[in-house]
Structure 1
Amino acid sequence: MSDIRKRRGVLGELLQNKAAYLLALPAAVYTVIFGYLTMPYLLIAFQKFNYKTGLFNSPWIGFDNFRFFFASPRAWEITFNTLKLNTLFIVFGTIAALLLAILFNELKSRLFSRIAQSTILFPHFLSWVIVSYVLYSLLSTEYGMVNRILEAIGMEPINWYSSPGYWTSILVGTHIWKDIGISLVIYLAAIAGIDESYYEAGRIDGATRMQLIRYITLPLLLPTVIILSLLALGKIMYGGFDMIYAIVKDNGLLYPTTEVIDTYVFRSLRNIGNPAQAMAIGLYQAVVGFILVYTSNKVVRKINPEHALF
């Protein structure tokens, strides 16, 4: 009887919320096809993969494909660049989005707030190819706006595209400019969900606006910050291939500070043409990402179980 009731419950849920499940169907199908049905192909990371013999008939070679990356003299430099850039993206992106969300929440003019939010959100919908041309128009050695400003104030122009030292800051700034809008929307939604009675009680007790932010807004935003940070940690080993490759392209002069695992694997696969080696590095990224998320979540659960992701 319990099985029949359960089936009726599932069927009833589907019929009652069919519009919502229909909207979720494309994402669910995409996840099943590219997230689960492709998982057997992780095996090629341990094979000398041959397209003719296929997945289950290719010879096994153990961890030889992993040596392709770890034996490279630049392996640790590339891993460091990946971790450094993603850590900076998470830290400064979170801080900037929180500050903007609190600022917009304190604005009295709702019209100005909506216009400003739309303006900040707009870059999120631009492709990285377009962003790369915008950046080039600013940093071009001969015609870039930044160098013209430097010349106008009596400073020497900088050849940005041959100076790797500047590019960590440039990439972090560009990433924040492009993606801060979507984080801002999430934090504003979280702030909107805070019970107004907390603020009213604070005002009755004589709290200033800064004290309301410090003792009410920020603590109640903490669970959202933790969840988004844990999700971002899962991709900390993925360096944002679309951003890096669109902006840096094949400029070898910038590799010391901009080359990440994704772009390295892509260039290696393009030159060598071995998918098994690319899969080995992809598996390495996934395992490290999983360990980081699991460990971070375990630490959060020990400190405050209510803020843990799972």
Structure 2
Amino acid sequence: MAKTDPSASTAAQPARTTKPNRFRKEWTHLKKNRELLMLALPGILYKLVIAYIPMVGLILAFKYFRYDEGIFGSKWVGFDNFEFLFKAQDAFRIIRNTLGYNFVYIMLGTAAALLLALLLNEVHGRLIKIYQTAMFLPYFISFVLVGYIANAFLDHNAGYLNTMLGWFGLEPHKWYLETTPWIFILPIVSLWKSIGFSTLVYYAGITGISTEYYEAARLDGATRVQMMWRITLPLLKPLVIILFILGLGNIFRGDFGLHYFVPNNVGPNYPTTDIIDTYIYRALTKLGDINSAAAVGFLQSVVGLVTVLTANFIVRRVDKDSALF
């Protein structure tokens, strides 16, 4: 009987590749970057406790909550809680105001922040620090304080605006009892409070642009305006698009502080100041309807997610490099 050569059979078999231990590889990576992970740990815990663990409460949007039965023991009602928003007599008004104001805030804020960032880039020396601080300071002021500042301007008896109107012989206005002026007041207040943060974001993007582009443009005789238009704005386009997409994520979620404290929650101006968030807040405080409030919050999050995904998909089809993901 002929003997088979073991070396031949071994050579005939395909070579077996040893895969690296994935767990060991991940552990080595974590161990190597343990200092960075320790720095990120507070932020991770904050997000976990504030943002992710409370997501269990989303189940309230589909239940008739009772305190004695708890979240999981309460009766399941499906989509009945979502009818509250769309069957309300003011549903069209609050949805229109929410979408309309947010669109104005995004467009106006983007244009103004870009303009200020371009102008800030032309300032040199110590003045730039003063301008940055002056623009960024309102961002840290709470809307409770902003409401008092607005009242100092809009008060019927001693407000600055009515005082200035009196200088020109005009009649004073009862701003809090009117509707039309708030179409302009709210965007101005929103712009004043948030413009500093957006401006610094765009300014940081401008400072990251290589100076070689501008030096080459100067050699070709380009003016400052031409360099802004031909170099700065095109290179800032990806950043502008990313912030625009993120802003669309809150298109169905209004700024509660702005629309509640600045108009002072006065009924006569509801037609132009009331949004989904303020309407739900009043329903929650007066009726105690926690089920409908949870349903509307869940709906706002879903609409925001769909809006971001849709906008990113469109941008990705047009310019893949400018997409968020």
Tell me the TM-score normalized by structure 2.
0.91
Amino acid at match of 1:52: D
**Map of 2:253 onto structure 1:** 238
Task: Please give the residue correspondences for 1:154-165 in structure 2 after superposition, counting only pairs within 5 Å.
Answer: 154-165=169-180
| Pair 1:287 & 2:302 matched | yes
For 1:89 and 1:80, the matched residues in 2 are separated by: 14
Task: Please give the residue correspondences for 1:12-161 in structure 2 after superposition, counting only pairs within 5 Å.
Answer: 12-14=32-34, 18=35, 20-107=36-123, 109-161=124-176
| Pair 1:223 & 2:238 matched | yes
For 2:41 and 2:193, the matched residues in 1 are separated by: 29
* Shift in Å, 1:167: 0.5
Aligned residue pairs, count? 305
With over 3 angstroms needed to count, the CA separation of the structure-2 counterparts of 1:128 and 1:173, relative to structure 1, is same
* Shift in Å, 1:248: 2.2
Residue aligned with 1:232, SS: helix
* Shift in Å, 1:254: 1.0
For 1:211 and 1:47, the matched residues in 2 are separated by: 59
For 2:83 and 2:324, the matched residues in 1 are separated by: 34
* Shift in Å, 1:123: 0.9
For 1:286 and 1:30, the matched residues in 2 are separated by: 20
For 1:164 and 1:27, the matched residues in 2 are separated by: 42
For 1:244 and 1:24, the matched residues in 2 are separated by: 34
Residue aligned with 2:187, SS: helix
For 2:273 and 2:151, the matched residues in 1 are separated by: 16
- Which runs of at least 4 in structure 1 moved beyond 3 Å after TM superposition? 20-23
**Map of 2:319 onto structure 1:** 304
Residue aligned with 1:48, SS: strand
| Pair 1:211 & 2:226 matched | yes
Identity %, equivalent residues: 42
User: Deviation per CA, 1:77-100, whole angstroms, max 9, x where unpaired?
Assistant: 101101111111111011111100
For 2:202 and 2:74, the matched residues in 1 are separated by: 49
Structure 1 unaligned residues grouped into runs of 5+? none
* Shift in Å, 1:73: 1.2
Structure 2 unaligned residues grouped into runs of 5+? 1-19
Amino acid at match of 1:261: I
**Map of 1:259 onto structure 2:** 274
Residue aligned with 1:206, SS: coil
Amino acid at match of 2:74: S
* Shift in Å, 1:40: 2.4
Amino acid at match of 2:313: K
User: Deviation per CA, 1:136-163, whole angstroms, max 9, x where unpaired?
Assistant: 1111111111111111112222111111
| Pair 1:11 & 2:31 matched | yes
Amino acid at match of 1:132: G
Residue aligned with 2:69, SS: coil
For 2:232 and 2:93, the matched residues in 1 are separated by: 40
Amino acid at match of 2:84: F
For 1:5 and 1:299, the matched residues in 2 are separated by: 37
Paired residues of 2:176 and 2:264 also in contact (CA < 8 A): no
Paired residues of 2:147 and 2:264 also in contact (CA < 8 A): no
**Map of 2:21 onto structure 1:** 2
RMSD: 1.2
Amino acid at match of 1:41: G
For 2:82 and 2:104, the matched residues in 1 are separated by: 27
For 1:22 and 1:155, the matched residues in 2 are separated by: 62
Structure 1 window deviating more from structure 2 (112-121 vs 252-261): it is 112-121
* Shift in Å, 1:24: 2.7
Amino acid at match of 2:56: P
For 2:139 and 2:256, the matched residues in 1 are separated by: 16
**Map of 2:213 onto structure 1:** 198
Amino acid at match of 1:232: G
* Shift in Å, 1:2: 3.2
* Shift in Å, 1:125: 1.2
For 2:284 and 2:159, the matched residues in 1 are separated by: 34
Asked which structure has the greater CA Rg, the reply is 2
